[in-house]
Structure formats: structure tokens, C-alpha cells
């Protein structure tokens, strides 16, 4: 990709002025929802609703055509019927708009006639150097620029994960689930039919985006797989790329063809290529979230040796089993470490790994044990488990979380947690995650995330 594309994409993510072509004053219309979301999310640039009828929408003056806007337009968002898009694109080209999101559907995804229309639009765009995301997409988000250009309810919270989705509704569900799980996004792109901008372009753009630490994608098919892999091979040297490639099964591949018109492609080839490019492939949305969060918050593990600190034997055992499943090692602690633990902990505690601090473990005991095991050269990362201690230590799950947060400021090794339970541990989990300690509802999921972190040993915290 030439630097010009990067420039265009940058203008689209950080526009000074946006035109919404097909803006509507009717609640329920996409052209109304788009405008409302942009305004309500706090966008600080100028917004120009474009509508043939003169007037105001949400207090903003409308303009009949994009050419009538009294300043340069960086981003045009197009939501007019498909047949009207070529004309609108012509206007955008004349206005020297840097980029357009074509929300409208009814293009190549519906068959031959749509494909012709899509090509026609693209030709006009190319001539005018307007870069296009879409058509058949639901918008983009840039939380750092306070831009929420989606026609569904805005819900992305700021964070370090960029997410690109080839399914609009899937992207919407992911944003919604993310906000429930307090997972933050830097950028979000519903990529649509990829008439112009595709996964590789965005990958190159995100490679140098300082707000993005982890890139996640939902892919149904690639236009140019070779280019994608070439780009991914470079990007994954500095940022983890996590991918769901749907349509692995016969049933799934059939469904893709009727969904986007894409061929899913041979799954084995995808698998091999992803491996070569160090792209992490997952088959589950839950795993995608878990590993993205872990990498965004804590970065890579220098090795595969884990220390487990817990206030309850059972979950420590479950975590040990999970480590072996996932190819991690439950470290054999150095004799010096064991001796220190033995001196500093009550006799009833287990000083082997997993270190069991037993039910009445207080914040100080947790701190001492974590500091001690993290100082062991045999340990690359620490998993801290807690089952509700609140019957014995009032607000224990919160105060222990606070102690760990203060400890991680000086700790040199990655740390993840599993505060297990419901309402009793919720406050503690909030404390942990606000301070970038990734928490998982079960030890198994925490261990799975650590196994992923160990794939990026070179990454600095």
C-alpha cells in the first residue's frame, strides 16, 4: 500500500468534516440513526447532513448536495438507495472527498446486477481518488477521535483492540458484548463487500496506529490472500493479529456463499498460511475476546512457566490441569523461593506450586506470595486465583484486588487473575480490569489466555 492510502484512511478515521448523504429527519431511518450517533458520541468536528429538502436535522443545517458544503469534506457517509449511489459518488469525487463509507446494500452481495453497479461506483471513486469502505457495511468507529459512525446503537468503549468485521451484525454483537465485558476498542470497521479497501489495507493502517495494540478480525473470505499474508507476516512482528476465519465446515462454506457471495476457500490452506504469518486463528468469539484482552493489557510472556497463587485448592488443581492441556508448565519453584514461602506463610499453606494460601488469605498474604513467586527465575508469569473470601475477610475480594493492583506497578512479569464467582467478586474484578489486569471467570480461561501470551515472548510490557 502506498502512503497515500494510509493518508486517506487517516482522514476517514480522524475527519475534520463529515457529510452524511441521505441524512434523514425520521427516527427509525438509517440516515437519522447515523447522524444521531455521531452527534451523541461527542464528535468534535463539523457534521453536514445532505438532503435534497432544505431544513434542519437535529439542529444541523442540511445541504442539498455534498458540493454545497462550505468547506473541505474528509469523510462522506452514504446511505441512499443503491441506484442513487453512482450519482452521489460522482458528487463526492467532484468535491475531492478523501473517503466514503457506503452503508447501502444491494451490490455484489445480491448477484450479477449488483456487481455491475458496484463496479460502476468503484470506477467513479477511483477516478476521483475517493477511497471506499463498503458497500453493504454498517459504519466505523474511532474511539480516540470520538467518532461513532454506526447506524446501530453506539456502544464501543475506548481501548486498545482494533476489530474489523466482514459481517456487520456480527460486528455489532461483538461491540455490544465487548461493552458488557468492559473490553475497549481503538477502531472498529464493518468492512462490507470490500469493493476497494480490504483487510490488508486496514492491517497496514493499524500497524502504525498508536492507539491499537491488538488487531482482531472476523473473516469470511479474502480478496487477495497472498497480499494479506505478506502484510500479516510483517504486522505480527509488532502486533498480535487474531482471526476468526468462518466457513471451515462444508455447511459453513455453503452459508458464506449465500451470505456474501464469497468463496470460503480451502480451509487447510488458510490454516497453513495463518500459521506461517503468525496470525492466531481461533474458532470462538469468547477466545478471541480473552486472548485480545490479555495481550492488550499485559503483553507477551517471556516463556511458558507459570506460577499459580490461590486461596482454594480445587481451582488451583483445575488451573494445573489446564496448564498441561495448553502446553504451559506449572513451574517447579526454586528451593530459595520455597524456603522464603515457608518462612513467610502460615504452616497450613502449601508452598509448592500451586501455592495455596488457604481460605483466610488476606491482602498481605497474597502480596507476599505473589512477590515471592514472581521473583523466581523459574517463573515467566503469575496466575492469581480467588474464590470469595468475604465470609471470613469482609470485602476481601476487593481489598485483595487493590493490593494486587498496587503490586503490579512494580512487578516485572505479566499477571492474570481469575476472581471466581458472582456478585461478591464484581467490585474486585472492576478494580483489576480498570488497572489492566485481565480477569477471567474461570481458571481454565485464564490459562488459555496465558498460553496465547506465551506465543509472543518478544513483546515488551
CA distance 406 to 435: 9
Of 1, 60, 153, 405, which lies in the binding site for a second copy, with binding defined by CB under 8 A? Answer: 153
Phi-psi region of 421 (alpha: psi -120 to 50; beta: other; left: phi over 0): left
CB neighbours of 448 closer than 8 A, spacing ≥ 6? 287, 290, 291, 322, 326
Of 149, 241, 444, 453, which lies in the binding site for a second copy, with binding defined by CB under 8 A? Answer: 444
Of 60, 144, 173, 430, which lies in the binding site for a second copy, with binding defined by CB under 8 A? Answer: 173
The answer to whether the beta carbons of residues 108 and 134 sit under 8 Å apart is no
Pattern 3-42, binding to a second copy, x per CB under 8 A?
-------------------------x----x---------
Residues 272 to 291 in contact with a second copy, rule: CB under 8 A = 283-286
- Size of residue set near a second copy by CB under 8 A: 78
Distance of closest approach, residue 41 Cβ to a second copy, in angstroms: 14
- Span near a second copy by CB under 8 A; candidates 42-50, 121-129, 168-176, 375-383: 168-176
| Contact call for residue 359 and a second copy (CB under 8 A) | yes
DSSP letter for each residue of 393-454? STTHHHHHHHHHHHHHTT--S-EEEEE-SSHHHHHHHHHHHHTT--B-SSHHHHHHHHHHHT
**Mapping DSSP to helix (H, G, I), strand (E, B) and coil, where does residue 92 land?**
helix
Q: Which of 164, 251, 156 lies closest to 206, judged by CA?
A: 164
Nine-digit cell string for 34 = 447515523
Distance of closest approach, residue 34 Cβ to a second copy, in angstroms: 10
DSSP letter for each residue of 93-141? HHTT-SEEEE----SGGG-HHHHHHHHHHHHHHHHTT-EEE-SS--EEE
Please say which residue, 22 or 315, places its beta carbon nearer to a second copy: 315
| Contact call for residue 155 and a second copy (CB under 8 A) | yes
Distance of closest approach, residue 210 Cβ to a second copy, in angstroms: 27
Residues 223 to 262 in contact with a second copy, rule: CB under 8 A = 244, 246-252, 254-256, 258-260
DSSP letter for each residue of 297-342? HH---SSSEEEEEESSHHHHHHHHHHHHHTT-EEPPPPHHHHHHHH
CA distance 143 to 211: 9
Residues 97 to 116 in contact with a second copy, rule: CB under 8 A = 110
Pattern 295-334, binding to a second copy, x per CB under 8 A?
----------------xxxxxxxx-xxxxxx----x----
- Span near a second copy by CB under 8 A; candidates 82-90, 205-213, 384-392, 429-437: 384-392
| Contact call for residue 336 and a second copy (CB under 8 A) | no
Distance of closest approach, residue 375 Cβ to a second copy, in angstroms: 21
| Contact call for residue 450 and a second copy (CB under 8 A) | no
| Contact call for residue 136 and a second copy (CB under 8 A) | no
Distance of closest approach, residue 438 Cβ to a second copy, in angstroms: 16
| Contact call for residue 184 and a second copy (CB under 8 A) | no
The answer to whether the beta carbons of residues 224 and 196 sit under 8 Å apart is no
Of 136, 167, 212, 408, which lies in the binding site for a second copy, with binding defined by CB under 8 A? Answer: 167
Distance of closest approach, residue 88 Cβ to a second copy, in angstroms: 22
Of 350, 367, 375, 456, which lies in the binding site for a second copy, with binding defined by CB under 8 A? Answer: 350
| Contact call for residue 424 and a second copy (CB under 8 A) | yes
Amino acid at each position: 500500500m502506498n502512503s497515500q492510502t494510509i493518508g486517506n484512511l487517516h482522514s476517514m478515521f480522524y475527519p475534520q468534516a463529515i457529510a452524511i448523504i441521505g441524512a434523514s429527519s425520521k427516527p427509525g431511518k438509517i440516515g437519522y440513526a447515523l447522524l444521531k450517533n455521531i452527534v451523541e458520541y461527542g464528535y468534535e468536528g463539523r457534521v453536514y447532513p445532505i438532503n435534497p429538502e432544505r431544513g434542519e436535522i437535529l439542529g444541523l443545517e442540511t445541504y442539498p448536495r455534498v458540493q454545497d458544503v462550505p468547506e473541505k469534506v474528509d469523510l462522506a457517509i452514504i446511505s441512499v438507495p443503491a441506484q442513487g449511489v453512482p450519482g452521489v459518488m460522482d458528487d463526492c469525487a467532484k468535491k475531492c472527498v478523501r473517503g466514503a463509507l457506503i452503508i447501502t446494500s444491494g451490490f455484489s452481495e445480491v448477484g450479477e446486477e449488483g456487481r455491475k453497479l458496484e463496479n460502476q461506483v468503484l470506477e467513479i471513486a477511483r477516478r476521483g481518488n475517493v477511497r471506499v469502505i463498503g458497500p453493504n457495511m454498517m459504519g466505523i468507529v474511532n474511539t480516540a477521535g470520538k467518532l461513532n459512525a454506526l447506524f446501530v446503537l453506539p456502544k464501543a468503549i475506548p481501548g486498545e483492540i482494533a476489530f474489523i468485521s466482514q459481517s456487520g451484525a456480527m460486528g455489532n454483537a461483538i461491540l455490544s458484548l465487548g461493552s458488557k465485558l468492559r473490553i475497549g476498542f481503538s477502531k472498529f470497521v464493518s468492512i462490507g463487500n470490500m469493493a476497494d479497501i480490504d483487510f490488508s489495507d486496514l492491517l497496514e493502517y493499524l500497524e502504525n496506529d498508536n492507539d491499537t495494540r491488538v488487531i482482531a478480525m472476523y473473516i469470511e473470505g479474502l480478496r487477495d490472500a497472498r497480499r494479506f499474508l505478506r502484510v500479516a507476516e510483517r504486522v505480527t512482528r509488532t502486533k498480535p493479529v487474531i482471526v476468526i476465519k468462518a466457513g471451515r465446515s462444508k455447511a459453513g462454506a455453503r452459508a458464506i456463499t449465500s451470505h456474501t457471495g464469497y468463496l470460503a476457500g480451502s480451509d487447510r490452506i488458510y490454516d497453513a498460511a495463518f500459521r506461517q504469518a503468525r496470525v492466531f486463528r481461533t474458532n470462538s468469539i469468547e477466545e478471541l475476546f480473552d486472548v485480545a484482552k490479555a495481550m492488550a493489557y499485559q503483553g507477551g510472556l517471556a516463556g511458558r512457566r507459570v506460577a499459580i497463587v490461590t486461596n482454594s485448592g480445587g481451582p488451583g488443581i483445575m488451573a494445573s490441569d489446564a496448564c498441561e492441556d495448553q502446553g504451559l508448565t506449572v513451574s517447579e519453584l526454586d528451593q530459595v523461593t520455597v524456603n522464603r514461602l515457608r518462612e513467610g506463610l502460615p504452616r497450613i499453606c502449601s508452598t509448592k506450586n500451586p501455592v495455596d494460601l488457604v481460605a483466610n488469605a488476606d491482602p498481605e498474604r497474597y502480596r507476599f506470595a505473589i512477590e515471592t513467586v514472581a521473583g523466581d527465575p523459574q517463573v515467566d508469569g503469575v496466575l492469581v486465583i480467588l474464590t470469595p473470601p468475604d465470609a471470613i475477610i469482609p470485602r476481601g475480594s476487593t481489598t485483595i484486588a487493590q493490593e494486587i493492583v498496587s503490586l503490579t506497578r512494580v512487578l516485572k512479569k505479566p499477571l492474570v487473575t481469575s476472581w471466581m464467582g458472582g456478585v461478591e467478586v464484581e467490585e474486585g474484578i472492576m478494580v483489576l480490569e480498570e488497572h489492566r489486569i485481565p480477569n477471567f471467570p474461570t481458571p481454565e480461561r485464564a490459562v488459555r489466555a496465558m498460553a496465547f501470551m506465551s506465543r509472543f515472548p518478544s513483546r515488551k510490557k
